[in-house]
Amino acid sequence: MKTSRRCRALLAVCLNLLALLFSTTAFLTTHWCQGTQRVPKPNCGRDKKTNCLNYSGNSTANDTAGSHGVHYSWETGDDRFLFRYFHTGIWYSCEENLSGLGETCRSFIDLAPASEKGVLWLSVVSEVLYILLLVVGFSLMCLELFHSSNVIDGLKLNAFAAVFTVLSGLLGMVAHMMYTQVFQVTVSLGPEDWRPHSWDYGWSFCLAWGSFTCCMAASVTTLNSYTKTVIEFRHKRKVFEQGFREEPTFIDPEAIKYFRERTEKGDGTEDEDFRLDCHHSRYPNRLQNTHL
């Protein structure tokens, strides 16, 4: 039983550690949602010949016309736009820099509509509490695994660890759902220069929900370990109590001494010898212990 309890506790610790690593990574990265944004192409010039709008007509005439001249382009529809890659997390939204290498990042909290900023901050607070409760549950599980020699103390630590882990999982689920809601509203009502043309969930979002899955698995394993240990103890206690109630009454030592002396002297009757033999055959161990 001790070995199985230790294996279940070790499994719960590993699952909790995975949940903690996944949640921390997802919280700090910016790949919860990713996709493309549609950006108008700039005008072609001397320094820019590609990914730009090339207006037809004589360039000299256009230069002469100046800014009041009429410009024409044969590009229509999506050909007039560039599609740049972007990815967004809880804290920042980063966009591909079309004019050079690297990315340009800005705060996602500033991009969110004013009506959704409160929900976004609640999501951030819930994520922080989620990680903190995972740390508390992980600490209790490690304490129960490595430093608890008393079974009763181990069960208490086990119960507290299960409660903290379940609470953290519920907070994590609420935080992920609130962030998803805020992002979808921002896609519709956010700044026009940021609104995505197409988007999907990224690997950070998958890590966040993977963390929630590991967290709930750890809590179920911990509760299962606690419940199974309690059931085993109750079963052993019931068996012990039944054995104690069914324990036969000891034979009077004086009566045993009396029959033994009469048997040695040969004074006993056949009925008494028969009863003594029956006692010997029914409780041989009790009589031997009494003789000693």
pLDDT in tens, the chain (292 residues): 555 777 878 888 999 999 999 999 999 999 999 999 887 766 565 555 555 656 554 444 444 444 454 454 445 555 566 778 899 999 999 998 877 678 889 999 999 999 999 999 999 999 999 999 999 999 988 888 776 566 677 778 888 888 999 999 999 999 999 999 999 999 999 888 898 988 999 999 999 999 999 999 998 888 887 777 677 666 666 666 666 565 554 455 665 565 566 666 655 454 454 454 544 454 444 444 444 4
Res 42: pLDDT? 60
Residue 154 sits in a domain of what CATH number?
1.20.140.150
Instruction: Tell me the two tokens of residue 74.
Output: 């044969």
Contact 85, 155 (CB under 8 A): no
Res 257: pLDDT? 63
Is residue 214 assigned to a domain?
Answer: yes
Is residue 170 assigned to a domain?
Answer: yes
Is residue 186 assigned to a domain?
Answer: yes
Q: Would you give the DSSP letter of residue 38?
A: E
Is residue 25 assigned to a domain?
Answer: yes
CA distance linking residue 269 with residue 265, whole number of Å: 11
Res 43: pLDDT? 59
Res 26: pLDDT? 94
Is residue 256 assigned to a domain?
Answer: no
pTM listed for this prediction: 0.69
Res 168: pLDDT? 93
What residues have CB less than 8 Å from 44, skipping those under 6 apart? 52, 53, 54, 55
Is residue 11 assigned to a domain?
Answer: yes
Instruction: Give me the torsion for CA of 35, 38, 39, 40, rounded to 10°.
Output: 160
Instruction: Tell me how crowded residue 189 is: count the other CB atoms within 10 A of its CB.
Output: 13
**Orientation of helix 2-28 relative to helix 151-189, angle to 10°:** 20
149 SS3 class = coil
CA distance linking residue 179 with residue 7, whole number of Å: 36
Is residue 263 assigned to a domain?
Answer: no
Q: How many domains does the chain have?
A: 1
Neighbouring-strand partners of residue 122? none
Is residue 38 assigned to a domain?
Answer: no
Domain that holds residue 232: 1-30+115-238
